[in-house]
């Protein structure tokens, strides 16, 4: 099936006017599959890191949200071992008026403001609540080990 106009337009704009600190490039052989990188926000434990993600637009996008997963290991209360992200707009609060760029911006914001009260990675969230400085230090260490090459 041919690619819907909406996806073509979104891709064009992502290339022509990229969001600072975010990069999303579709695969040549599958224009619904994107390689994404997000720069860790300044003043966060992820600062300096470049995180790789994969993004897939399902058949009924934008009626259903894109599927997004971190490929780079990250220590974050709302991101689990498999890289799955706990973010409301990726689930029940998705709206078809949202776009790839707005969703990626939300993920970048999530890196800047972890929310241990709505955890996906329970152990990380637990640690975040019990000893935040130590958790942040671990996040920093992981960033250095996995997200800086």
Catalytically active residues are: 86
H or E stretch covering 74: none
Q: How far apart are CA 12 and CA 43, in angstroms?
A: 31
Q: Which of 3, 9, 81, 102 binds other proteins (CB under 8 A)?
A: 9
Binder among 3, 15, 91, 96 for other proteins (CB under 8 A): 96
Find out whether 16 and 25 touch, Cβ atoms under 8 Å.
no
Name the minimum Å distance from CB 58 to other proteins: 13
Q: Select the residue interacting with other proteins from 3, 6, 30, 130 (CB under 8 A).
A: 6
Structure tokens at 45: 């434990």
Contacting other proteins within 97-116 (CB under 8 A): 97-98
């Amino acid at each position: 099936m041919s690619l819907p106009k909406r996806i073509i337009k979104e891709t064009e704009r992502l290339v022509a006017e990229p969001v600072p600190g975010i990069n999303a490039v579709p695969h040549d052989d599958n224009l619904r599959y994107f390689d994404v990188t997000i720069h860790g926000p300044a003043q966060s434990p992820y600062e300096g890191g470049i995180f790789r993600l994969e993004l897939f637009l399902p058949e009924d996008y934008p009626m259903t949200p894109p599927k997004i997963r971190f490929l780079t290991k990250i220590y974050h209360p709302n991101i689990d071992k498999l890289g799955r992200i706990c973010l409301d707009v990726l689930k029940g609060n998705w709206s078809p008026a949202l776009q790839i760029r707005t969703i990626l911006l939300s993920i970048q914001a999530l890196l800047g403001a972890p929310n241990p009260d709505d955890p996906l990675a329970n152990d990380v969230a637990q640690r975040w609540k019990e000893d935040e400085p130590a958790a942040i230090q671990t996040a920093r260490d992981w960033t250095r080990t996995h997200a800086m090459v």
